[in-house]
A and B are shown apart, each in its own frame.
Chain A
């Protein structure tokens, strides 16, 4: 597809379980971002990958959150031991050198 693809679109998990969220960026985009959007709220920056550089992890809220980007393309955001406050929409975006960020549809995570 031409756009950023995220999977799953919806995820319901039990408190304490681990979850993995996947992002397929637009081909050729060097930058990839993860954001979190709580219900009715703004977008909270989580992590940023740029090419082969070390990722900027300054937005990760706790050590339960981690992310990797394999081969400069697909990225996975992992949340360990999920808590109810982790419930949100997790958005991925990719960007070419021009800094225009293109977002996916998001993964709606519900922790019960």
Chain B
């Protein structure tokens, strides 16, 4: 059973546009929702994270929107840049099982 479902698998956006990646989860015990960015040949890097007591968190051009009742959260990249082209992974974890469970990833391409 897939614990977190991520979509879309790939995304192409024009420079300056908004990139939106979605994740859905099943287990209501999850209480930590990070997004990771991975460039080819590199390990994933933490981008931004949210806990379920807030509905939105913004850091620069990156925003997480969280819908607890729908068990969904999404990453919004405003004013997307070619340098944002990478693979993005959502993840979930809980206080009792702290290992991160990752989504399948979204390959983002921002066209110049």
Question: Which residues A1-58 have CB closer than 8 A to chain B?
Answer: 4, 31, 33, 35, 41-43, 45, 48, 50, 56
Is the Cβ of A103 less than 8 Å from the Cβ of B43?
yes
Binding site for A on B (CB under 8 A): 32, 34, 36, 41-46, 49, 89, 93, 97-105
CB-CB under 8 A from A59, the residues of chain B are: 99
A-B contact count (CB 8 A): 50
- Interface residues of A, dominant DSSP: strand
Report the nearest A residue to B41, measured CB to CB. A105
* A87 to B37 alpha-carbon distance, docked (Å): 23
Given contacts A45-B100, A48-B98, contact A100 B46 (CB under 8 A): yes
Binding site for B on A (CB under 8 A): 4, 31, 33, 35, 41-43, 45, 48, 50, 56, 59, 91, 93, 95, 99-106
CB-CB under 8 A from A93, the residues of chain B are: 43, 100
- Within the complex, the shortest CB–CB distance from B25 to chain A, in Å, comes to 14
CB-CB under 8 A from A56, the residues of chain B are: 97, 99
- Within the complex, the shortest CB–CB distance from A99 to chain B, in Å, comes to 5
Is the Cβ of A42 less than 8 Å from the Cβ of B89?
yes
Given contacts A42-B89, A100-B34, contact A33 B43 (CB under 8 A): no
Is the Cβ of A43 less than 8 Å from the Cβ of B32?
no
* A103 to B99 alpha-carbon distance, docked (Å): 13
* A104 to B44 alpha-carbon distance, docked (Å): 8
- Within the complex, the shortest CB–CB distance from A91 to chain B, in Å, comes to 5
* A36 to B4 alpha-carbon distance, docked (Å): 17
